[in-house]
Amino acid sequence: ETGVTQSPTHLIKTRGQQVTLRCSSQSGHNTVSWYQQALGQGPQFIFQYYREEENGRGNFPPRFSGLQFPNYSSELNVNALELDDSALYLCASSLDSASIGETEAFFGQGTRLTVV
């Protein structure tokens, strides 16, 4: 079975631009969560998608948005980029949206976004 893959691995954007990050979930997984990991900090929950619907959101502004497709892959879109958006963006897939204590979340290697 394939793991969680994210693309691109690195990218550099200019302040004010828009960016799209992509995630392919592990085979058989229908839930994708996105996290932002700033340098030297732990990951912070952005939002989760379950069967193509947003299923929970963390404390991030509306310029962070997402999509989930019928094959359960997902995109994270960030508009009007700010310097503080520079971070590692992690995608995690799991089997369903039940309590995460009952199912394991598998993380991709992340996309390193630098905003200049």
Partner 1 sequence: GNSVTQMEGPVTLSEEAFLTINCTYTATGYPSLFWYVQYPGEGLQLLLKATKADDKGSNKGFEATYRKETTSFHLEKGSVQVSDSAVYFCALSPMEYGNKLVFGAGTILRVKS
76 in contact with partner 1 (CB under 8 A): no
Closest CA to 89 of 36, 18, 32: 36
Both tokens assigned to 78:
């960030």
CB of 17 to partner 1, least distance (A): 26
Identity of the residue, 105 or 113, whose beta carbon is nearer to partner 1 in the bound complex:
105
66 in contact with partner 1 (CB under 8 A): no
C-alpha 12: how far from its chain's center?
17
d(CA 66, CA 22): 10
Residues that bind partner 1 (CB under 8 A): 4, 31, 33, 35, 40-45, 48, 50, 55-56, 58, 90, 92, 94, 97-102, 104-105, 107-110
